Each structure stands twice: as C-alpha cells, then as structure tokens.
Amino acid sequence: MSINKKEGKIIGFRSDVITEKKLDKLTFDYNITKKDWLENNLEKCEDQALLENKIGEKWIKIPASEYDHLIVDPEIHSGFVCDRIVTHIGSQGKELTFDNLWFEFQTFQKLNDIECTKIKEGKSDVIFCNHNMGMNTSLFLCYLVLDMVNITPNYQFESKMITEKTFMIKIKLTNR
C-alpha cells in the first residue's frame, strides 16, 4: 500500500548550514531525495542492529574490490563468520535452524547491497546471489551458506555453481 501525501506526516529537524549543504550535495550527487536517503540509512541501521552481538558494536565498510582481496582463504573466513552468526542466534534464544541462519545471512547481505534469494523447487531450494565482487567473495559466500547447511539438520547439499560475480547452490529438504 502506498502512502499518499495526505496520509504521510511531515517531519523536520534543525541543522547547521554545513550539515545542510553536505546533505544537499550528497542527495544531488546520488540523485536521490532526502526522504529516500533517510529511509535507506534507517533501514541499514536497523539491519545492522539486528546483527550486532553487542549493543553499539562498531562496524566498518570496505570497498568491494578490496574486500575480495582481503579474503585470502574464503573457507576459513566463512567458518569464522558462520560461528559469529550461530553465536548471535544463540544470544537471542532462537533455535539453530537453517531458516534462522538464512535470515541473518540475508540481513548481512542487505547491509552490503547484495541481493541473495532462496527459491523453492519441489523438495529443493535454490539459493542465488549476485554480488559482482570477485571469485574470493563468491567462494566465501558459497562456503558460508554450505557451513549453515552443514550445521543444521533440515537440509543437505545437492549442487553448486560458482562464478566470479555469482553463486548458486541447490539444497534439498531432508526428513531428519
């Protein structure tokens, strides 16, 4: 449902001239409205808060091209990140299921503007991710999903296809 102008609420805040000019320049440079900028940053802030192990945990941004080079051993890196996700799920008192792990994985990818989808195909699910960041990133993300599959009893690995810009994994629902 879309909100028309009469249903929405006008909000405003006071800022100094320097902040106003910086915001005007940023929204002009990226060809977005101030409303879009605010909504996007609020969503990212909410997603990050969902993934924090400690309130106010510091996060860093790394350019995609550099990140791919930083992942020297994608399989080890994926294990480290999977452990972090498992710890986070446990700290929330949630059950360790693939769906809970997948939610965390997908939220993390949204923070990085990477769209990962899971599509049902009968008793199997196909996971597809398009990131355009390089082979190490493809391997890392693929291994991370496989780590999640391996530590939960509800799916088993069927097949994978990895390229420099994408990966696709097929997993099968089991009756364990």
The C-alpha atoms of residue 130 and residue 153 are separated, in whole angstroms, by 27
Question: Could you list the mean pLDDT of each consecutive 10-residue stretch along the chain, which spans 176 residues?
Answer: 65 86 88 88 79 70 68 85 91 92 90 88 92 88 95 92 94 79
Whether the CB-CB separation of 120 and 173 falls below 8 Å is answered with no
Looking at residue 1, its pLDDT comes to 45
Which residues does residue 136 pair with via DSSP β-bridges, in sequence order? none
Which residues does residue 168 pair with via DSSP β-bridges, in sequence order? 128, 161
Which residues does residue 130 pair with via DSSP β-bridges, in sequence order? 115, 166
Looking at residue 6, its pLDDT comes to 66
Which positions ≥6 away from 89 have C-beta within 8 Å?
95, 96, 100, 101, 104
